[in-house]
Chains A and B, each alone.
Chain A
Amino acid sequence: MSANDLGSDPAVQRRRTTRRRNAPLFAALTWLGAWCCALAPQTAHAHPYHVTFAEATLDEASWSLQIAIRMKPEDLEEALRRSSGVEAKLEEFPDRAAHAYRYLSSKLFFERGDAPRLPIRWVGMELSLRDAWVYLEVPLPSKTRRVTVHNDIFFDLELNQANTIELRLLSEQTTLTFRRDQPTAIVEIPVRVAR
Chain B
Amino acid sequence: MKWSFRTHLPVLALACAIPNISTAAPDEDERPPLTDPFRQLEETLPTPTSTRAASGAPGHRYWQQRADYNIKVRIDDAKQHLEGSQRIRYFNESPDTLDYVWLQLDANIYAPDSDSVRARSTPGFSRMPYRSLRRIFARATFDGSVKLTRVQSGGKDLNYVVVGTMMRIDLPKPLASGKRVDLDIDWHYAINDSDRVSGRTGFEFFEDDKNYIYEIAQWFPRMVAYTDVNGWQHKQFLGNGEFTLELGDYKVEITVPADHIVASTGVLKNGNKVLTSDQRARLSKAAKADAPEFIVTPEEAKQNEAEGTEEEKTWVFHAKNVRDFAFATSRKFIWDAVSHDVNGRDVWAMSYYPNEGEPLWSRYSTRSIEHTLDIYSRYTFDYPYPVAISVNGPVGGMEYPMICFNGPRPEEDGTYTARTKYGLISVIIHEVGHNYFPMIVNSDERQWTWMDEGLNTFLQYLTEQEWEPDYPSRRGEPRNIVGYMASENQVPIMTNSESLLQFGNNAYAKPATALNVLRETVLGRELFDFAFKKYARRWKFRRPQPADFFRTMEDASGIDLDWFWRGWFYSTDHVDIALTGIREFSVDTLDPEIEKARDREERDSVPESLSERRNEDLAQLTDALPELKDFYNDYDKLDVTEKDKKWYQRALKRLSDEEKELLKTTKKFYVIDLENVGGLVMPVILELHYGDGSKEEIRIPAEIWRRDWHETSKAVMTDKDLVRVVVDPHLETADTDLSNNFYPPKVEKSRFELFKYRRDRGNPMRDAGLGDGSVKERSPQEKVDERERPGK
Contact = CB atoms under 8 A, between A and B. Distances in A.
Given A11-B194, A41-B109, A98 B133 contact: no
A28 B127 CA distance: 5
Given A17-B207, A22-B130, A3 B356 contact: no
B198 A14 contact: no
B75 interface: no
A35 B140 contact: yes
A11 B397 CA distance: 13
B228 to A, nearest CB: 26
Given A38-B135, A177-B488, A1 B419 contact: no
A114 to B, nearest CB: 13
B555 interface: no
Interface in A1-55: 1-7, 9-11, 13-18, 22-30, 32-51, 53, 55
A168 B120 CA distance: 34
A66 B755 CA distance: 11
A117 interface: yes
Contacts, number: 306
Interface in A119-178: 119-130, 133, 135, 152, 155-156, 159-160, 162, 164, 166, 168, 174-175, 177
A136 to B, nearest CB: 9
B394 to A, nearest CB: 7
Contacts of B125: 29, 36, 152, 155-156, 180
Nearest to B414: A15
Given A15-B356, A155-B125, A122 B140 contact: no
B504 to A, nearest CB: 3
A1 B790 contact: no
A38 B427 contact: no
B504 A175 contact: no
Interface in A78-135: 82, 89-92, 95-98, 100-102, 105-106, 109, 116-117, 119-130, 133, 135
Given A25-B130, A120-B790, A57 B239 contact: no
Contact of B430 (A3, A39, A49): A3
Of listed B419, B460, B750, residue having the most chain A CB within 10 A: B419
A50 B420 CA distance: 19
Contacts of B779: 121-122
A188 interface: no
Given A7-B396, A13-B408, A2 B431 contact: yes
B762 interface: no
A2 to B, nearest CB: 2
A40 B426 contact: no
Q: Is the interface of A mostly helix, strand, loop or mixed?
A: mixed
A28 B508 CA distance: 36
A82 B128 CA distance: 10
A25 B132 CA distance: 11
Contacts of B641: none
A38 B396 contact: no
B469 interface: no
B48 interface: no
Interface in B393-439: 394-399, 406-412, 417-420, 422-423, 426-427, 430-431
A7 B407 CA distance: 10
Contact of A42 (B135, B207, B509, B772): B135
A43 B125 CA distance: 17
B128 A10 contact: no
A15 B131 CA distance: 17
A39 B136 contact: yes
A181 B126 contact: no
A48 B123 contact: no
A89 B411 contact: yes
A120 B46 CA distance: 53
A15 B360 CA distance: 12
A149 to B, nearest CB: 14
A33 to B, nearest CB: 6
B227 interface: no
A166 B755 CA distance: 17
B484 A51 contact: yes
Contacts of A130: 472, 474, 480
A181 B489 CA distance: 14
A17 B206 contact: yes
Contact of A128 (B472, B487, B781): B472
B475 A3 contact: yes
A48 B504 contact: yes
A10 B505 contact: no
B122 to A, nearest CB: 6
A26 B198 contact: no
Contact of B752 (A47, A51, A68, A89): A68
B155 interface: no
A66 B123 contact: no
Nearest to A89: B417
Contacts of A183: 124
Max chain B C-beta neighbours (<10 A), residue from A4, A49, A50, A123:
A4
Given A29-B128, A126-B755, 10 more contacts: A2-B398, A4-B474, A14-B356, A26-B130, A40-B239, A70-B483, A70-B751, A156-B132, A162-B502, A175-B488
28 contacts: A2-B406, A3-B475, A11-B195, A16-B195, A17-B356, A26-B128, A27-B128, A27-B130, A29-B126, A29-B133, A41-B198, A43-B239, A45-B200, A45-B398, A51-B505, A53-B483, A53-B487, A68-B751, A89-B417, A89-B420, A98-B783, A98-B784, A109-B791, A120-B790, A124-B775, A166-B487, A175-B486, A177-B487
| Top 7 A-B pairs, shortest CB-CB distance | A2-B397, A48-B504, A49-B504, A97-B774, A117-B791, A37-B120, A38-B139
